[in-house]
Structure 1
Amino acid sequence: MNVRIRNLLPSRRDYAGLRRTWRGDLVAGVTVGIVALPLALGFGVSSGLSAEAGLVTAVVAGVIAAVFGGSHVQVSGPTGAMVVVLVPIVAGHGPGAVVVVTLLAGVLVVLAGVLRLGRAVSFIPWPVIEGFTLGIAVIIFTQQIPALASSHVAGASEHSSNAIVAAVQAFATLDPAYAAWALGAVAVVTACMWGAPRLHRSVPGSLVGIVVVAVAALVVGAPLARIGALPGTLPAPSLPVIDLSSLAALTAPAATVAALAAIESLLSARVAASLGDTGTYDPDRELIGQGLASIGSSLFGGMPATGAIARTAVNVRSGGRSRLAAVTHAVVLLLVVLVAAGPVGQIPLAALAGVLMVTAVRMVHLDTVRAILRSTRADAVAFVATAVITVSFDLIVAVVIGVAFAGFFALRGMSQASQVRREEVRGQTQPGDDRIAILRFDGPLSFTSADRVSAEVDAVRGVSVVIMRMSQLELVDATGAHMLGEITQTLERRGITVLIKGVQPRHEDLFRTVGVLAALRHHNHLFTDLPSAIAHARSHVQRETTTA
């Protein structure tokens, strides 16, 4: 089998250290499973689907991504970012369309892995990632407000698919008595999530809070809406029914889901690799694993899966070092489905809303926000623009525009870094030295600065020889090299002899191909050191003076 293909598939190497790490992996897997339970339920409900869809996704996708993915410690399942994308899809096409979108998105992510596009995430700047995260946090938080306003959860036709607008609309149907009960449940969950870890770091505050609220609601008879009945087993796998007439309309949403799944999974895997001694990750294999996970989830009626940064971090910090931990987390959730479906169905939706609200708040790190806003204007603009567009419009559009902002400012900075400086002729001054111009090129020379540099060189007047120093020239693209060739030709047409000094070996092929060297009057006008170039320039000036 081709080595390239073999590296993208599971192998015994994935479990090389299992004999040493299996105990820690089992403990970490159980811990992550407990943490993941309320999140899987909450994200399933919040997406407009069901708690069952969230659990199914966490179980099925969790196992597939663990086995086929490119990270040894990545934990996958439903995430808040994906919920944000799914809500408008459910609103526009109905819950049934999500299964088809999940299948299509999974195929696209697998294709991206096969095409070796895994490294693309490295081109997303840090401010854009943080702006993206802030926008997601705001959306997740505001998505919970309608569930707290009244026991009636409005349908897509009653509330906007935009989380901010939907939150405002929810106040029109506000039931003060119900809202008081719901906010009380949120307060209890919040207190448990913030307080339980202070008693002991291993105490799952979210699960404790949900249990406390569920028991209290049953004891006092609180009028809180519940999750409802859950099946006691996983649904039987089946191929989604694809309506060809609606397939075209679902292609764009599927592409959005695929892009988000790829970006979030790769970011999570990259973060996991920096948290501890977990080994490297293969970004291309990670895409294949996440794509297969979404395909598998769709066969069981689930939703798209991605690598989950928070759960992955819990896994690493709990001692997980191999894929066994992520598989164990999925088995724990499966046992919940098989053994505790009845009690889980009695959990109040307000308790899940509290878990997600606290999760959203924890996604935002104020120190990071302040650092970005105080860094550079370009980074601050990219951060704010990404966050605002994420909340107002679309996640993928936000990333694209954020990257465009960052790219624009980066190119502008590159343009400003390009300089042309005129230097004095070195050594003892000789007659005619004022007829020699030494131009030193610094920084990158690309399409962003070519016109400005050309204008600066063209402004040189009253000289007979121009020495262009290239030793400090950094990046040069085809446009920059072409501009140098045109400058040389223009100066030569004006009767000015051009000498080039210090062409770096890495630039020689480009200069030769584009025609910079061919534009010189003579091949002897190319020098490796400045004194030789100055001596040659003086001889030209002397001959010109003698002739005159």
Structure 2
Amino acid sequence: MVVIATNLLWARINTTIPGSLVGLVLATAIASSFHLNVPTIGTIPQSLPMPQGIPHWNDFNVIRELINPALALAALGSIESLLSAVVADGMTVSEKHNSDRELIGQGLANMIVPFFGGIPATGAIARTAVNVRSGGKTRLSGVIHGVALGIIVLTLAPLAAQIPLAALAGILMVVSLRMVEWEAIGLLMRATYSDFAVMILTWLVTILFDLVLAVEVGLIAAGALFIKRMSDLSLVKIPETEVFPPGIPLELGKEIAVYRVDGPVFFGAAERFATFLRDEPEVKYLILRLRFVPNMDTTGLVALEDIYHDLERHNCRLILTGLQPEVKQLLERTGLLKTIGLSNCFETTTEAICSISPQIACSQPVAADLKTKKLMELNN
């Protein structure tokens, strides 16, 4: 309680000296002066570790037994350090971290430390947050942290051994509360319940188990949510008044259906993409506007091919308009573009409709295509 109160109130008195350090010294002084029976850090060695020698690598069974835990430690250590770096980025406006530099530096250190009897080290979210909240702004703060620890080990170890563990808990409580981004939580609650549910799930796993498991569960949940969102393919039938040029015969208009596809066509949307378009028995010309489809995966290609063959069996012609370069290259590589036919691919819907019947007057583009061209010009 002393450390928490000092952390919260010290900033009103002095902003140069970190409140967490003042609270730590004050709590240690109170515990030592009144001889309070509280758990402390305990004995700290007053010397730097010396080289322990080279391990023996002649036993292949030992290497095979250790390789899996080594890879697991490397992966978990990398995740922990990058999470710490992201937390620091969110708490400061200074230069953002470089992931490659962070992981290379950590990897080199963890390759050298074992020869001195050490264990793998990672960046820690709690210590990183304390560092930033205490005024650390550059990588030099991490260097100062290491030098200070070395000085404490060599000269102040007896005093540091008397620090109560409850004092460290007080610092972590204040830091954890200050790390909570209340505005972001409010935004999540007001925006989408699914994102808020992922956050609550991650939080519960962190509390009940540990941070690493929480990150894994959170990533899986977020990935499943992403797939669900991407599979919600927007498929809209465009009214005849928006796409048909003037003078089109009524009979021909009934045989043409135009659909706009929004979003990527991939495996999550393949089934809906296929079944939705097959529910038009009277249509003889099916036009798909793919201008807003940025990419397509293998299952999407298979779905598109199934649609083509299914429509072909019903004497219905499939026409594609507005193909993006990436999608068009993919169709060419797989041979599907040749199967559908270049004669069935057009830049605009108006050109596609005009190709169906040469008697249609197509001198003026329709309003929908004009809007599309204006949008493309603005984007360019």
Seen in structure 2, the aligned counterparts of structure 1 residues 220 and 271 have a Cα distance that, compared at 3 Å, is closer
CA 1:272–1:405: 2 relative to 1, 3 Å? closer
| Matched residue type, 1:217 | A
The CA deviation at 1:404 is 1.7
Q: Distance in 2 between matches of 1:468 and 1:357?
A: 57
**Which structure carries more relative contact order (alpha carbon 8 Å, separation 6+)?**
1
Task: Rate the CA distance shift 1:369–1:304 in 2: closer, same or farther, 3 A.
Answer: farther
Alpha-carbon spacing, 1:428–1:456, altered in 2? closer, same or farther (3 Å): same
Contact 1:421 1:441 in 2 (8 A): no
Paired letter, 1:201: T
Shift of the alpha carbon at 1:452?
Answer: 0.5
**Size of the alignment, in residue pairs?**
352
Supply the distance in 1 between the matched residues of 2:72 and 2:186 (Cα, whole angstroms).
30
Matched, 1:516 2:330: no
Q: Is the 8 A contact 1:193 1:209 kept in 2?
A: yes
The answer as to whether partners of 2:294 and 2:324 remain within 8 angstroms in 1 is: no
Report the secondary structure of 2:43's partner residue. coil
Question: Of 350, 355, 358, which aligns to 1:536?
Answer: 355
Alignment match, 1:404? 220
Partner of 1:64: none
1:290 match: 106
Q: 1:208 aligns with which of 14, 17, 22?
A: 22
With over 3 angstroms needed to count, the CA separation of the structure-2 counterparts of 1:362 and 1:294, relative to structure 1, is farther
Among candidates 460, 475, 493, match of residue 295 of structure 2: 475
The two structures, once aligned, show a CA RMSD in angstroms of 3.2
Identity across the alignment (%): 36
Alignment-derived partner of residue 198 in structure 1:
12
Structure 2 unaligned segments of length 5 or more: list them: 361-380
Instruction: Find the counterpart in structure 1 of residue 375 from structure 2.
Output: none
The 8 Å contact of residues 454 and 483 in structure 1, kept in 2 or not, is answered as: yes
2:153 maps to a residue whose letter is V
Q: Which residue number corresponds to residue 145 of structure 2?
A: 329
Which of 224, 231, 234 is equivalent to 2:45?
231
- Give the distance between the partners of 1:359 and 1:303, measured in 2 at CA: 26
1:122-144 deviation per Cα after TM superposition (whole angstroms, max 9, x unaligned): xxxxxxxxxxxxxxxxxxxxxxx
From the superposition, tell whether residues 501 and 349 of structure 1 become closer, same or farther in structure 2 (CA, over 3 Å): closer
Shift of 1:457: 1.0
Q: How many Å separate the matches in 2 of 1:226 and 1:488? A: 74
> Normalising by the residue count of structure 2, what TM-score does the alignment of the two structures yield?
0.80
Structure 1 SS opposite 2:232: helix
Aligned to 2:322: 502
Report the 3-state secondary structure (helix = DSSP H, G, I; strand = E; otherwise coil) of the residue aligned with 2:271.
helix
Q: Residue 440 in 1 paired to residue 256 in 2?
A: no
Give the Cα–Cα distance (whole angstroms) in 2 for the partners of residues 269 and 355 of structure 1.
20
1:412-431 alignment to 2 at 5 Å? 412-424=228-240, 425-431=244-250
Seen in structure 2, the aligned counterparts of structure 1 residues 367 and 297 have a Cα distance that, compared at 3 Å, is farther
1:525 aligns to 2:339 (yes or no):
no
Distance 1:471 1:350 in 2: 61
The separation in 1 between residues aligned to 2:107 and 2:98, in whole angstroms, is 14
- Distance in 2 separating the partners of 1:394 and 1:248: 28
**Contact kept? 2:4, 2:170, Cα under 8 Å:** yes
- Relative to structure 1, the CA distance from residue 456 to residue 426 in structure 2 (aligned partners, 3 Å threshold; closer, same or farther) is farther
Match of 2:192 in 1: 376
Q: Does 1:222 align with 2:41?
A: no
Structure 1 residues 188 and 221: alpha-carbon distance in aligned structure 2, compared to 1, 3 A threshold: same
Alignment of 1:339-378 (within 5 A): 339-378=155-194
Q: Secondary structure at the match of 2:288?
A: strand
Task: Report deviation, 1:255.
Answer: 4.5
